[in-house]
Structure 1
Amino acid sequence: MMIRKAFLTICSAGVLLSVQAQTPKVYTIQADKIKTPIQKTMYGIFFEDINQAADGGVYAELIKNRSFEFNMPLMGWDEQKKDGGDGRLEVINRATERPENAHFIKAYVTSETGSFGLENEGFRGGTGIKEGETYSFSVMARQNDGNVKLNIELHGDNDAIIGKAELSPTDKEWNRYSVKFSSSATAKKAKVFVWLSGKGVIDLDMISMFPEHTWKNRPGGLRADLVQKLADIKPGFLRFPGGCIVEGRELNTRYQWKKSIGDIDKRTNIINRWNTEFAHRPAPDYYQTFGLGFMEYFMTAEDIGASPLPILNCGMACEFNTSEMVPLDKLDPYLQDALDLIEFANGDASTQWGKLRTDLGHPAPFNLKMIGVGNEQWGPQYIDRWKIFTKAIKAKYPDVKIVSALGPFPKGPEFDLLNKTFRSLGADILDEHYYASPKWFRDNARRYDNYDRKGPKIFAGEYAAQSVQTGSPLNKNNWECALAEAAFMTGLERNADVVNMASYAPLFAHVDGWQWTPDLIWFDNLKSYGTPSYYVQQLFSLNKGTDVVPLTLNNESVAGQEGCFATASLDKNTNELIIKFVNTGATAQPVSFKINGGAYQKKANVITLHSDRGDTENSLENPKTISPVESTMAVNGKLVNTTIEAYTVQVIRLKNK
């Protein structure tokens, strides 16, 4: 009897616990009480040329080292002979005449028969070629002696010829020649051959090939699928060109925007500062051609409806590397670059730099509203330079907001010094960075709850959850990380009166050419996919609304209770209430949203991101393992009853009658 009684007691307790577990928690939403507007810039994108993001990535050029300006001028090229052809190459240095494009190739074709020429290896071991695509091949050439012809061939799998064309340069002065041709097959790592035939001597430079179908079909443009993924986020801003690229390992490898605009053959190549940064992923052939330059950045921002946010060097190289600095009395060229950039973006044709923008084909201003001074600098030396930049910029452009760095870490002495100093000096926007564990992101969902509401605005400029540890090559873009980022983002949005901008980083990574992981979008030479973190960013950006309204549980913000995080907003443009709920726990959560204010239609739209496993990832083969799933749910007056599954991000949109 005693055993049976004890068993019944345990069973009764289990039933009671089960009933209690299924009792929905009641969340209150005050839809009639606006807490703060949400800035259009709330969720944006951060671009940096790391992980082969520009050359070999979003910049659609298919020829590596097209102008022979790498430190080893023939890097990426191999001499080839066939059918008894013969010849030799000379690398000519004309630095006195053309310092920005010092090298060209003089090719001697010494055989009357066969062919002699060059093979280009493309990026990461080959060139992505698509069946049926039209390719535009071009070259700067001049005939020296004889009548040398160019035969272009694409070699696909098993060395099969899948495309070919012919060019016959005639001038004895430099001229550009081009031809279009199509491919008969798809190859992820094709080879490009430039065969020379006909005895003679010819000079070659700027050997280039682009797909015809680039973003907006612009000649010499950007890779369409990658830019489309940015457009699909509908970002509020585009930060460019970085990142540590801005600083350079040393000052002579910093990003100089004036060298990235104008004629493509007059943009000065430099080695990419990430080429040897990581011992686990050396990339000695990683360079910047600046085919993707500031004009292209501004135009891309305009294309995707994003506010441009350029970041400029403040006279300091990367403090993790050389820490080179320009003396304070020698900062004038750096200051002038900043002032000239604002004029380039916003000035009319009566100004020097506004006229240049007009001459480059964009008479309308780019409406630049903010600019960054330095990237991840720290210490009193940065403060000294920041003061000089801020004074000069504000004197001429008082309405331009300045983004100020708070160093590379979210806390510590470097952060504290800059945070205290810039607040006392009335800074506009403070740029905070955090690369940390998923736990850190969950634990910091209240980070901005107690920030000064009257102080500078916050830009969460670089963040990503690290599955192993910061900078580890073993980090994965898994669901646990994305879920933690979503939890953190509810805190950003809930505090939209303080946090005006946020962006995940880095943005792009080539599957064969990365240096840093995790990253938002991965690609190879042909395809691309968004990670779970990408879909979190997209979900929040597309559903941010216009105004935050209070969402509470027992009169508290929802920021970690039983692993749950939530925020709510109104969208005045669509007359909807938007609820974002993140369940990071292992247990499904029955919830009841009690809405004060408004009258809602009986059916709500629901968008869900979910996986049963935290280690789930997307891939090129399975790009949408974790991706948004749309559905609907019933609404009972001002009450929404539902169950949020474990490991789930859910957005509920209710239409106001």
Structure 2
Amino acid sequence: MLMASSKVSYYVLLCFGIVAVSVSTFFAIGDDTVQPIRLVVNASEASARQIPDTLFGIFFEEINHAGAGGIWAELVSNRGFEAGGPNTPSNIYPWSIIGDESSISVSTDRSSCFDRNKVALRMEVLCDSRDNNVCPTGEVGIYNPGFWGMNIEEGKAYKVTLFVRSLGEIDVSVSLTDSRGLKKLATASIISSDVSNWSKMEVLLTATETNYNSRLQLTTSKKGVIWFDQVSAMPVETYKGHGFRNDLVQMMADLKPRFIRFPGGCFVEGEWLRNAFRWKETIGPWEQRPGHFGDVWMYWTDDGLGYFEFLQLAEDLGAAPVWVFNNGISHQDQVDTSNISPFVQEALDSIEFARGDPNSTWGSVRAAMGHPQPFDLKYVALGNEDCGKKNYRGNYVKIYNALKRAYPDIKIISNCDGSSVKLDHPADYYDFHIYTSANQMFSMAHKFDKTSRTGPKAFVSEYAVTGSDAGTGSLLAAIAEAGFLIGLEKNSDIVEMASYAPLFVNTNDRRWNPDAIVFNSSHLYGTPSYWMQQFFAASSGATLLDTTLDANSSSLIASSIVWKNADDNNYYLRIKIVNFGSNKVNLKISVYNLNGYSIRKSGSSQTVLTSANLMDENSLNNPKKVLPLKASLNTAAENMDVVILSHSITSFELLIESNTIRMPGSHHQFSTSAI
């Protein structure tokens, strides 16, 4: 991820003849001058090409509270009281006290039983249920509002886990309440006569009603001193049972990503190396993870969402993991190549953790976490946006050589852009980032037209329209990005991977605009750029057909693919057209030389993404203002007249009917269910 102040860097095939699309476009040149345009889709096997299986995926960075307070379903913020730093007493924010100075005293000390996170909370209760100093009604204690309010839903169960110690008996109420603590949504008691040693306690709370702005309370009316540490509250229902927030991850899954790049971005580098993401600190039991302060995006993460969880998420999504690790370079400091050996070993160990035999040193740690089978890690990136740094090439070559010796099949991604100039170091892929205006993004559709077809492949791991054209997620941005992606489809012989950035933003912590998915603790929506990506969800692994315009158009671009829908087992010809212009296009589609194939009227459809205003956005109050509209295409046939709206993305999904459909280069034949 580029810093806001940083630089702006720039075959299921149908074996039937020719699809010809003639276009009459009305541009405002004088008096309604007609400029006919002919669009030709050549469906012959000789001109078709299979798109890489990995072309479109997603990039997840811990930015905007995308993970902590986002896809990771943990409800408690600063669960281990470590966010205030290792020195005590420390700030316990966002924890707060219930009661006044006469009834309770709260501080932190370094008495935790966990070696890597020694800070614990010490709560001294000065009142009691009897004698002179009676506790106030409702007891005294501490509460945590989570990440700007906890979303608690009626009938749902929540597991609260905490570690507790006291020299005397304890009677602690664990409650989910409204934001002011006046109404309990669920409650249970922890009663014990002996917790002189740190003890793990668990309670299951089932909510009696829904409240989007709830909090967790630990209260008591029993005099004495209690220590708390590692307080967690997790919904029982998470995505595939692996701790992820269901609705947010489903939005990811709906894009059908073929890869997921993680965990950054600048989050990997850190402003300083001391605050960079260190994968070994994020594995093992969650309560033993020390957490860290991300000094680029300026917030604390408990690292419940760690390296293992990212690998698990990739597996759950059916996406190839793309692991980005630190190569000894941050924004402000860097390790000299002569001292890079420990970082080389870190990289090697990380791959062994993911891929190693369960009896290997790091593979056994993964197995102990519940995943004895290796993860399918094939791609690693060495750093993020570090190419211009003094030690990057030296560090890169050292790590590259070590990885290739140990894992010859691993695909290694360089930070340096090889689209215009040949790389001066070995790589399987080079990384390309582009954040720019809408006009420039649309023109970037041709960026890779003349790129060398030899050497490393391109990975466009971060792209987005930014600035005034984008707002917080505009239709204009989405249209321009769609044009860019059509260019990537056409150049997918050299561009093998692409992902939008950033993916998520919590409305309470916007560190970057725009983003694909916007959310708070209870609601979410996709920006137009999110919905734009769904037009390309079937492209990876599909067959690209040769699609050309026989006249120059600065505002129109199109591509065509043939793909198989796994849901209905049918094959479709998808024609995508992006109209970046302010005039509608009258389109006459003619399909020639089907050679025994046909387009079926029933089952074909048209989908359009547009809106009344170019700068229209979705919002939490109006999440469906800009959405793709899908309609049956009852006129689907070899010849049909359609209209392409101005400032729009249009997809024609034409159901193909035939006895057999063959993939180029394949000896297999596939029968459609339409036969």
User: How many residue pairs were aligned?
Assistant: 606
Q: Which residue of 2 aligns with 1:132?
A: 155
Q: Does 2:535 correspond to 1:568?
A: no
Supply the distance in 2 between the matched residues of 1:392 and 1:199 (Cα, whole angstroms).
60
C-alpha contact (below 8 Å) 2:545/2:561 kept by paired residues: yes
C-alpha contact (below 8 Å) 1:29/1:593 kept by paired residues: no
DSSP 3-state at the match of 1:540:
coil
Matches within 5 A, 1:213-612: 213-218=237-242, 221-276=243-298, 286-318=299-331, 322=332, 324-379=333-388, 380-406=390-416, 420=421, 422=423, 424-468=424-468, 475-544=471-540, 546-554=542-550, 561-571=553-563, 574-595=570-591, 598=594, 599-603=597-601, 604-612=604-612
| CA-CA distance at 1:73 after TM superposition | 4.1
DSSP 3-state at the match of 1:352:
coil
Q: Does 2:104 correspond to 1:54?
A: no
Matches within 5 A, 1:1-20: none
Equivalent of 1:92 in 100, 109, 116: 109
Matches within 5 A, 1:146-157: 146-156=169-179
Supply the distance in 2 between the matched residues of 1:525 and 1:93 (Cα, whole angstroms).
32
C-alpha contact (below 8 Å) 2:171/2:189 kept by paired residues: no
C-alpha contact (below 8 Å) 1:314/1:374 kept by paired residues: yes
- Structure 1 residues 596 and 355, CA gap change in structure 2 (3 angstroms): farther
- Aligned-residue sequence identity (percent) comes to 32
DSSP 3-state at the match of 2:391:
helix
C-alpha offsets along residues 439-488 of structure 1, whole Å, 9 cap, x if unaligned?
A: 1111111111111112311111111101427xxxx832010011110111
Supply the distance in 2 between the matched residues of 1:150 and 1:186 (Cα, whole angstroms).
20
C-alpha offsets along residues 336-376 of structure 1, whole Å, 9 cap, x if unaligned?
A: 11111211211222322222212211122211111000111
Q: Which residue of 2 aligns with 1:41?
A: 54
DSSP 3-state at the match of 1:425:
coil
Supply the distance in 1 between the matched residues of 2:161 and 2:590 (Cα, whole angstroms).
64
Supply the distance in 2 between the matched residues of 1:636 and 1:248 (Cα, whole angstroms).
54
DSSP 3-state at the match of 1:550:
strand
| CA-CA distance at 1:626 after TM superposition | 1.6
Supply the distance in 2 between the matched residues of 1:421 and 1:306 (Cα, whole angstroms).
30
- Structure 1 residues 138 and 567, CA gap change in structure 2 (3 angstroms): same
Q: What code does the residue aligned with 1:54 have?
A: G
Q: Which residue of 1 aligns with 2:231?
A: 207
| CA-CA distance at 1:632 after TM superposition | 2.8
- Structure 1 residues 67 and 449, CA gap change in structure 2 (3 angstroms): same
Q: What code does the residue aligned with 1:608 have?
A: V
| CA-CA distance at 1:654 after TM superposition | 2.0
C-alpha contact (below 8 Å) 2:52/2:541 kept by paired residues: no
Q: What code does the residue aligned with 1:523 have?
A: F
DSSP 3-state at the match of 2:537:
helix
Supply the distance in 1 between the matched residues of 2:98 and 2:63 (Cα, whole angstroms).
32
- Structure 1 residues 168 and 367, CA gap change in structure 2 (3 angstroms): same
Which consecutive residues of structure 2, in runs of 5 or more, have no partner in the other structure?
A: 1-27, 85-89, 130-134, 658-675
Q: What code does the residue aligned with 2:421 have?
A: K
- Structure 1 residues 538 and 273, CA gap change in structure 2 (3 angstroms): farther
- Structure 1 residues 582 and 232, CA gap change in structure 2 (3 angstroms): same
Q: What code does the residue aligned with 2:261 have?
A: R
C-alpha offsets along residues 17-42 of structure 1, whole Å, 9 cap, x if unaligned?
A: 65x64x86331101114443211211
Supply the distance in 2 between the matched residues of 1:151 and 1:354 (Cα, whole angstroms).
38
Q: Which residue of 2 aligns with 1:119?
A: 143
Supply the distance in 2 between the matched residues of 1:619 and 1:58 (Cα, whole angstroms).
19
Supply the distance in 2 between the matched residues of 1:166 and 1:475 (Cα, whole angstroms).
48
| CA-CA distance at 1:388 after TM superposition | 0.9
- Structure 1 residues 68 and 487, CA gap change in structure 2 (3 angstroms): same
- Structure 1 residues 464 and 154, CA gap change in structure 2 (3 angstroms): same
C-alpha contact (below 8 Å) 1:28/1:593 kept by paired residues: no
Which consecutive residues of structure 1, in runs of 5 or more, have no partner in the other structure?
A: 1-13, 277-285, 407-414
| CA-CA distance at 1:392 after TM superposition | 0.8
Supply the distance in 1 between the matched residues of 2:324 and 2:620 (Cα, whole angstroms).
32
C-alpha offsets along residues 405-437 of structure 1, whole Å, 9 cap, x if unaligned?
A: 13xxxxxxxx58x96352x43421111001100
Supply the distance in 2 between the matched residues of 1:76 and 1:183 (Cα, whole angstroms).
23
DSSP 3-state at the match of 1:561:
coil
Q: Does 2:198 correspond to 1:178?
A: no
| CA-CA distance at 1:91 after TM superposition | 1.4
Q: Which residue of 2 aligns with 1:619?
A: 619
Supply the distance in 2 between the matched residues of 1:185 and 1:342 (Cα, whole angstroms).
45
| CA-CA distance at 1:78 after TM superposition | 1.6
Q: What code does the residue aligned with 2:500 have?
A: Y
Q: Which residue of 1 aligns with 2:122?
A: 106
Q: What code does the residue aligned with 2:224 have?
A: G
- Structure 1 residues 315 and 158, CA gap change in structure 2 (3 angstroms): closer
Supply the distance in 1 between the matched residues of 2:270 and 2:528 (Cα, whole angstroms).
31
| CA-CA distance at 1:327 after TM superposition | 1.7
User: Per residue, is there more helix in 1 or in 2?
Assistant: 1
Q: What code does the residue aligned with 2:94 have?
A: G
Supply the distance in 2 between the matched residues of 1:94 and 1:109 (Cα, whole angstroms).
18
Supply the distance in 2 between the matched residues of 1:182 and 1:634 (Cα, whole angstroms).
49
C-alpha offsets along residues 304-343 of structure 1, whole Å, 9 cap, x if unaligned?
A: 111000100011012xxx1x11121221221111111211
| CA-CA distance at 1:121 after TM superposition | 3.0
Q: What code does the residue aligned with 1:390 have?
A: Y
Q: Which residue of 1 aligns with 2:44?
A: 32
TM-score, normalised by the number of residues in structure 1: 0.87
- Structure 1 residues 420 and 543, CA gap change in structure 2 (3 angstroms): closer
- Structure 1 residues 230 and 108, CA gap change in structure 2 (3 angstroms): same
Supply the distance in 2 between the matched residues of 1:656 and 1:90 (Cα, whole angstroms).
69
Supply the distance in 1 between the matched residues of 2:309 and 2:31 (Cα, whole angstroms).
60
C-alpha contact (below 8 Å) 2:178/2:213 kept by paired residues: no
- Structure 1 residues 189 and 81, CA gap change in structure 2 (3 angstroms): same
Supply the distance in 2 between the matched residues of 1:650 and 1:46 (Cα, whole angstroms).
25
C-alpha offsets along residues 158-182 of structure 1, whole Å, 9 cap, x if unaligned?
A: 8433332211244322221111122
Q: Which residue of 2 aligns with 1:633?
A: 633
- Structure 1 residues 575 and 122, CA gap change in structure 2 (3 angstroms): closer
Supply the distance in 2 between the matched residues of 1:634 and 1:87 (Cα, whole angstroms).
72
DSSP 3-state at the match of 1:42:
coil
Q: Does 2:215 correspond to 1:196?
A: no
Supply the distance in 2 between the matched residues of 1:35 and 1:426 (Cα, whole angstroms).
30
| CA-CA distance at 1:523 after TM superposition | 0.3
- Structure 1 residues 596 and 622, CA gap change in structure 2 (3 angstroms): same
Supply the distance in 2 between the matched residues of 1:43 and 1:550 (Cα, whole angstroms).
19
C-alpha contact (below 8 Å) 1:68/1:104 kept by paired residues: yes
DSSP 3-state at the match of 2:529:
helix
Alignment RMSD: 2.5
Q: What code does the residue aligned with 2:345 have?
A: Q
Supply the distance in 2 between the matched residues of 1:326 and 1:636 (Cα, whole angstroms).
61
C-alpha contact (below 8 Å) 1:467/1:476 kept by paired residues: no
- Structure 1 residues 226 and 597, CA gap change in structure 2 (3 angstroms): farther
DSSP 3-state at the match of 1:292:
coil
Matches within 5 A, 1:637-648: 638-648=638-648
Q: Which residue of 1 aligns with 2:10?
A: none
Q: Which residue of 2 aligns with 1:4?
A: none
Equivalent of 1:160 in 157, 177, 183: 183
| CA-CA distance at 1:275 after TM superposition | 4.3
DSSP 3-state at the match of 1:177:
strand
Supply the distance in 2 between the matched residues of 1:104 and 1:503 (Cα, whole angstroms).
41
